[in-house]
Amino acid sequence: MSRKEAVLLVSRGLSILQLIYALMELTYLPIRFVSLHHHTTRANVLRSSGYDDFWSGYYRVDIAFVFARVAICLVVAFLFWNCGPWIDRLLLPKSDDQEQPN
C-alpha cells in the first residue's frame, strides 16, 4: 500500500467517524425538543417567570449548540472525505528522508 493510499484510507475512516458522531448528536434532539416544549408550555399556562423561563432558555441554547456541533462535524467529515493536500500533510507528514531524492 502506497503512502497516498494509506492517507486516503485513514482520512476516509476519520470522515466516517465524524459522520457517525454527527448522527449520534442528532439522536439527542427529540428529548431536548420535548423538554423545551414542556417548559415553554408550563411557563405559558402557569405564568411563572423564574424556573420555567430559565429551563426554556437553557434548552433553546442547548438545541442551538447541538445544531452547531452537527454542522461542524459534517464540515469536518466533508473535508476528511475529500482528503486535500493539507489533510495529507496533517495525517502523514513527509520525513526528511523522503524529501531529498538520491
pLDDT digits (tens, 9 = 90+) for 7-60: 889 999 999 999 999 999 999 999 999 999 988 887 667 676 677 788 889 999
Q: What is the pTM of this model?
A: 0.79
Q: What is the pLDDT of residues 52-102, one digit of tens each?
A: 788 889 999 999 999 999 999 999 999 999 988 888 888 888 776 655 555
Q: How confident is the model at residue 26, as a pLDDT? A: 95
DSSP letter for each residue of 12-74: HHHHHHHHHHHHHHHTTHHHHHHHHHHHHHHHHHH---SHHHHHHHHHHHHHHHHHHHHHHHH
Contact 59, 97 (CB under 8 A): no
- Sequence spans of domains, the chain: 3-94
- Cell numbers 502523514 correspond to what residue? 92
Res 80: pLDDT:
92
